[in-house]
Chain A
Amino acid sequence: MAKANMNPKKNPMPTQDALLRAHNFDEVALGYDEATAIDEALRCLNCKNMPCVSGCPVNIHIPEFIERIKEGDFEGAYQIIAKSSTLPAVCGRVCPQETQCEAKCVRGIKGEPVGIGRLERFVADWHNMHSDVAPECLPNNGHKVAVVGSGPSGLTCAGDLAKAGYSVTVYEALHTAGGVLVYGIPEFRLPKAIVQKEVDTLKAMGVEIVTNVVIGKTLTVDELFDMGYEAVFIGSGAGLPNFMGIPGEALCGVYSANEYLTRSNLMKAYLDSPETPIMKGGKVAVVGGGNVAMDAARTALRLGAEKVYIVYRRSMDELPARREEVEHAEEEGIEFRLLCNPVEILGYNNPDDRSDPKNGFVTGMKCIRMELGEPDERGRRRPVAIPDSEFTLDVDTVIMSIGTSPNPLIKSTTEGLEVNRWGGIIVTEDGATTKAGVYAGGDAVTGAATVISAMGAGKIAAKAIDEYLRK
């Protein structure tokens, strides 16, 4: 085997040129080639205590799969990842590795950590290009489990249960499977063909996916039990978007990030002649600092906006988005207006002509400058408004990306399912809800979080459901 690579820096990720990619929806990061992957793998010291594994929400056997890459056994590497993760091609792209596995990497102490995420992506893409072998499943055990929602937690739970021999049906409310991976995360960050490939893999494992069924409406959780399912996993996602409660949020041109991204991603409004409209061009302000805000801002740019602002009330240090997304956004020309908070959205109003077609459309957003005060209970410094510091940002579109509140549909139709103060489903450590045989995970439990934490919850629940049904 080749000698360890002691370069303190990661092999850089090849990307599309920033100025070019700001105007197309093709994937930004292009992925390692085989030689680069092996070179990067050789940076791994194969530590005996494997600190990286403890940083992974689904505990992928990281040094083990990297060893296989060093040997050039890419399919072998994939099979090791597949033991722990149902969606490696997705995670390699969207996980915040810098705060998870890579944060624990010993190489990160005196340099950059091993590019674990980039290697995971390489291995998954290699497998998808070269192999059609579905992960192995145990023989069918005759037990039926229903999964509500086909986002990351639902797909993971379904995949693990199928591997363990269960007959699994996934119920999806929308017309396409994938949940937030399809309606939320844009094509340039996660190509839809990759999600489809992962969904097809599940189908090849025998998982049935039923679209257009809204659990809580079309069927209730209790009816699923009547239909013969012995356990139910709820991974219905986060739900209704939050708004700030400031004047002007109902103006035309104010979107929630969910609506904006759904129009562009799921409904393909970014194509040339879409059937679903979206407001394109002009100046756009995105309010919020998470990954969703970055996705919305970069989508707006690609749809033809002349200027896109991120408006965030804290500073760059507190910005919760994945570092790589922030860097990509900056490179593409998105302007960060930090320590700013909107106080009012301004709209056009012609008092002399009620039928003026411009009436009711956004013309600007009034903001106030902020400074950081004392830390709050979570240790984050609280932003405080600076008196008399208001200014107006000249914009035509405002996208609110300040989180979501749980969807009430399942809670309101499922007796015995308890939720907490803000509407998240209450679960034990292993994902069990207050209703027997019903498990839950992902954003429906935690509120808006990451793809990988939802997958982790789906995995834990699958194990718990297996134990529950064995009793």
Chain B
Amino acid sequence: MYKIVSKKILNPTVVMMDIDAPLVAKKAEAGQFIILRVDSEGERIPLTVAGYDREAGTVKIIFQIVGATTEKLSHKNEGEYIEDFAGPLGLPTHLEGLNNVCIVGGGVGCAIALPVAQALKAKGAKVTSIIGFRSRDLVILEEEFGAASDEVIVMTDDGSYGRQGNVCVPLNEMFASGREFDKVITIGPLIMMKFVVEATRPTGIPCDVSMNPIMIDGTGMCGGCRLTLNIDGKRVTKFACVDGPDFDGYQVDFDEAMLRGAAYRDFERHSYESTCNLFKKEVK
């Protein structure tokens, strides 16, 4: 059992928790993920590490309520426990040799992008952050990005906060004005990462993406998290849990990843609705 040391609601659908998991906290690096189960009947879900405190022995997770498991997790309170918490899994984000990086985060993906920005800042790199959200009330971590970046651009789809438009708007402007980066690192919804990759491709600047496919064990056993890379004209199967979750964005077959991500859409919607109804009944 793993204790929830602190809990904070970041916006109506995004929750931050610090979990007491000293062994994981000791090893975690930006870009890695953990697998958790809320209770003894729960499913295993992967969540990317949003931060860690090695001294306090805690690991920070930030999650969006998108389904039954995250709904259940969001109802857990400070001082309560979750059943399982294993990690850190996957490979850390590759930061060596990077001195000037553009970080592009979207929605709850910003939670994962933040530790990458912080790690880069800590080693003295120049960090430009573009973070995008649907609207003003969904904006998270703006202050933290401010502290970890030389420049932060906040975008909202509806223009209710920051600049109006998607994250590619300022990115394209930067490329048009001749801005150079050692790398673009993008983390967010698949469709957003796909567009960021396509926007970056003509510049030849390397572009890494963080994949978050369906996983079961997360340790290199089930193969559910496989994705296809196009490497030198060949299609190669990779496993996000042991080969990733970061990949060269130019190689990833995003269309396939999007189809695979929707494999259990109906089941998940149904399961989410029945969980919500359960909580509603409890409230009554």
Residues of A within 8 A of B (CB): 173-175, 183, 211-214, 217-219, 237, 239-241, 243, 245, 249-253, 255-256, 258-259, 262-263, 266-268, 273, 275-277, 357, 359-361, 407-409
| A275 lies within 8 A of B41 (CB) | yes
Judging by beta carbons under 8 Å apart, are B216 and A263 in contact?
yes
Nearest chain-B residue to A263 (Cβ)? B216
Q: Is the CB of B223 within 8 A of A240?
A: yes
The reply on B89 being an interface residue by CB < 8 A is yes
Tell yes or no: B260 within 8 A of A by CB.
yes
Determine the chain A residues whose CB is within 8 A of the CB of B42 once the complex forms: 275
Measured between alpha carbons, how far is A132 from B256 in the docked complex, in Å?
53
User: Are A262 and B221 touching (Cβ within 8 A)?
Assistant: yes
B179 at the interface (CB under 8 A from A): no
| Chain B residues proximal to chain A, CB less than 8 Å | 23-24, 27, 37, 41-44, 68-69, 83-89, 216-217, 219-224, 226-228, 237, 239, 242, 253, 256, 259-260, 262-268, 271, 274
B72: nearest chain-A partner, CB-CB = A275
A258 to B223, CA, bound (A): 7
A sample of 22 inter-chain contacts (CB < 8 A) reads A173-B86, A183-B221, A212-B85, A212-B86, A214-B87, A243-B226, A243-B237, A250-B256, A252-B262, A256-B222, A256-B223, A259-B222, A259-B224, A267-B43, A275-B41, A275-B42, A275-B68, A277-B267, A359-B259, A407-B219, A407-B221, A409-B219
Q: Decide: A262 and B268 in contact? CB cutoff 8 A.
A: no
Residues of B within 8 A of A276 (CB): 43-44, 216
Contact of B271 among A245, A275, A357 (CB under 8 A): A275
The listed residue (A239, A243, A253, A275) touching B43 by CB distance below 8 A is A275
> In the docked arrangement, what's the CA distance between A407 and B239, Å?
11
Q: Is the CB of B216 within 8 A of A217?
A: no
Contact residue among A175, A241, A360 (Cβ-Cβ distance under 8 Å from B86): A175
* Nearest 4 pairs of A and B residues by beta carbon: A360-B259, A252-B263, A256-B223, A259-B222
With contacts A240-B242, A249-B237 known, is A175 near B37, CB below 8 A? Answer: yes
> Of A219, A266, A359, A409, which contacts B242 at CB under 8 A?
A409
Who on chain B is nearest to A240 by CB?
Answer: B220
Apart from the given pairs A173-B217, A361-B263, 5 other A-B contacts in the complex at a CB distance below 8 Å: A250-B227, A252-B260, A252-B262, A263-B216, A266-B216
Complex partner residue of B89 from A175, A214, A251, A258, CB under 8 angstroms? A214
Whether A408 lies near B220 (C-beta < 8 A) is: yes
Q: How long is the Cα–Cα vector from A174 to B222 in the complex, in angstroms?
A: 12
Task: List chain B residues, Cβ under 8 A from A409.
Answer: 219-220, 242
User: Is B222 a contact of A241 with CB atoms below 8 Å?
Assistant: yes
Docked complex Cα distance between A267 and B224 (Å): 14
Q: Taking the nearest CB of chain A, how far is it from the CB of B224, in angstroms?
A: 5
A357 cross-chain contacts in B, Cβ below 8 A: 262, 265-266
Cross-chain contact of B221 among A240, A249, A275 (Cβ < 8 A): A240
Chain A neighbourhood of B221, CB < 8 A: 183, 237, 239-241, 258, 262, 407
Complex: chain B residue closest to A220, CB-CB: B27
A175 touches B83 (CB 8 A): yes
Contact A240 B44 (CB under 8 A): no
Q: Please, how many angstroms separate the alpha-carbon atoms of A446 and B86 in the complex? A: 27
Inside 8 A of B267's CB, which chain A residues have their CB? 277
The answer to whether A214 and B219 have CB atoms under 8 Å apart is yes
Q: Which of B89, B239, B264, B274 contacts A277 (CB 8 A)?
A: B264
A407 touches B220 (CB 8 A): yes
A231 to B255, CA, bound (A): 48
- Expressed in whole angstroms, the Cα–Cα distance for A266 and B265 within the complex equals 22
Chain A residues contacting B23 (CB-CB under 8 Å) are 213, 218-219
Q: Which of B24, B222, B271 has the most CB of A within 10 A?
A: B222
CB nearest to A219 among chain B residues:
B23
Q: Which residue of B lies closest to A247 (CB)?
A: B235
Cβ A218 vs Cβ B87 within 8 A:
yes
Contacts of B227 in A (CB 8 A): 250
Given the contacts A267-B44, A275-B68, A408-B242, A262 and B222 also touching, CB distance less than 8 Å: yes
What distance in Å separates the Cβ of B19 from its nearest Cβ neighbour in chain A? 12
> Cα distance A275–B239 when bound, in Å?
23
Q: How far is the CB of A404 from chain B (nearest CB, A)?
A: 8
Least CB distance from B8 to A in Å reads 25
A263 to B263 Cα, complex, angstroms: 14
In the assembled complex, which residues on chain B have CB atoms less than 8 Å from the CB atom of A240?
Answer: 220-221, 223, 239, 242
What residues on B are CB-neighbors of A360 within 8 Å?
256, 259-260, 262-263
Give A238 Cβ to nearest chain B Cβ, in Å.
8
**How far is A230 from B64 in the complex, measured between Cα atoms in Å?**
44
Closest to B239 in A: A240
Q: Shortest CB–CB separation between residue A304 and chain B, in angstroms?
A: 14
Please measure, in the bound complex, the distance between the C-alpha atom of A252 and the C-alpha atom of B228, giving whole angstroms.
14
* Of listed B23, B42, B265, residue having the most chain A CB within 10 A: B23
CB distance from B67 to the nearest CB of A (A): 10
How far, in angstroms, from A275 to B70 measured CA to CA in the complex?
12
Q: Which residues of A contact B222 (CB under 8 A)?
A: 241, 256, 258-259, 262
Contact, CB under 8 Å: B86 / A239: no
Residues of A within 8 A of B268 (CB): 277
Residue among A174, A239, A263, A266 with max Cβ neighbours from chain B (10 Å): A174
> Which residue of chain B is the closest to A361 with respect to CB atoms?
B263
Question: Known interface pairs A175-B83, A275-B271. Does A259 touch B223 (Cβ–Cβ under 8 Å)?
Answer: yes
B216 touches A267 (CB 8 A): yes
List chain A residues, Cβ under 8 A from B68: 275
| Docked-complex contact B220 and A239, CB < 8 angstroms | yes
CB-based nearest A residue for B220: A407
**Are A213 and B216 touching (Cβ within 8 A)?**
no
Question: Smallest CB-CB separation from A412: which chain B residue?
Answer: B242
Across the interface, do A218 and B226 meet the contact criterion of CB distance under 8 Å? no
Query: In the complex, what's the smallest C-beta–C-beta distance from B219 to chain A, in angstroms?
Result: 5
Known: A240-B239, A240-B242, A267-B43. A174 touches B271 (CB 8 A): no
